[in-house]
Amino acid sequence: MLAIACPGQGSQTPGFLSPWLELPGVREHLEQLSDRAGTDLVRHGTVSDEETIKDTAVAQPLIVAAGLVTARVLLEGSVLTAATVVAGHSVGELTASAVAGALSEDDAVAFVRVRATAMAAAAASVPTGMSAVLGGDAEEVQGRLAELGLTAANANGGGQVVAAGTLEQLAELAADPPARARVIALKVAGAFHTAHMSPAVTALEALRPSLAPTDPVATLMSNFDGRPVATGEGNLDSLIAQVSRPVRWDLCMESMQAMGVTGMIELSPAGTLTGLAKRGMRGTATLAVKSLEDLDAARSFLEEHSRTTDLDPSLTSEGPQ
């Protein structure tokens, strides 16, 4: 069984889309997405510097657009079915929603435009950020985060938790980390997936009436509880609530293993989620689509791991609880 993974913010690097523009139709596709996003994604994916693409208002549309572009190239118009699992980490859930057929590309990009600007505004109101905490005893890590008033905003499995909060709180964590744990500051501009982002939920609720969600055709995972969402409306509920609550990628990986996923392929900008899968989904084949040179191997990978299977109804989620 195949899983398609869509990465989130922090996975982008300067110039990562440049090679893709060599392919027919990619520039035109990216320009169309730029129009909908209200920003020049061609420029940001090719020549913008690291500081520019770190900006939340730029990074989120860029990452979603990159996933949509590479998905179109890789899948070549194929229609997915429930036999394929699609999952995205954080803003990658918007990419996943479009790939799985739960949102149109236009709606996914309209959503990320509002999401990105609202989260950037929320982040600007108080200096906040996120840091990866690698290793250490899980209970000790959670206890230290609670002691500092930090939120475990991403549970990524494999001994990795992402802490989010004010820059002062994160500095304290880095200065005195839990035993046997390393703290690495992430290239993001705010404490995403925490109460600091609640204003963005309000902005997205205002956008809801203009969107036309549909039931996913592929098996679409939710970051809320690691279960598939059954309906387009349920997925939209989850996407809106997601900006201010933790991402449970660990549960997504657990569910994918329980479903019998044999291979995970990660769309551009790839590498983060396949890295997590190597630790959290041991025995599952992975492939990161990082460049044009990966396409032939990726297409063979898709064929090898695609097969028909029945989804266990007990795994289905109706959205946020």
Alpha carbon 169 to its chain's center: 25
Round to the nearest angstrom and report the end-to-end CA distance of the chain: 28
Dmax (CA) for the chain in angstroms is 53
Both tokens of 286, joined, read: 């992975």
Strand order in the sheet with 160-166: 151-157, 160-166, 128-135, 181-185
Among candidates 134, 168, 136, 135, which has minimal Cα distance to 150? 168
Rg (CA), the chain: 18
Query: Concatenated DSSP letters for 33-63?
Result: HHHHHTS-HHHHHHT--HHHHHSHHHHHHHH
Whether 90 is a known active-site residue: answer yes
Assess contact for 210 and 191: CB atoms under 8 A: no
Catalytic residue chosen out of the listed positions 11, 34, 90, 244: 90
Catalytic residue chosen out of the listed positions 193, 222, 238, 255: 193
How far apart are the C-alpha atoms of 13 and 25, rounded to whole Å? Answer: 22
How far apart are the C-alpha atoms of 68 and 88, rounded to whole Å? Answer: 12
Assess contact for 253 and 234: CB atoms under 8 A: no
Whether 222 is a known active-site residue: answer no
CA dihedral 53, 59, 106, 302 (to 10 degrees): 100
Cis check: omega of the bond before 269, within 30 degrees of 0: yes
Q: Which residues belong to the active site? A: 90, 193
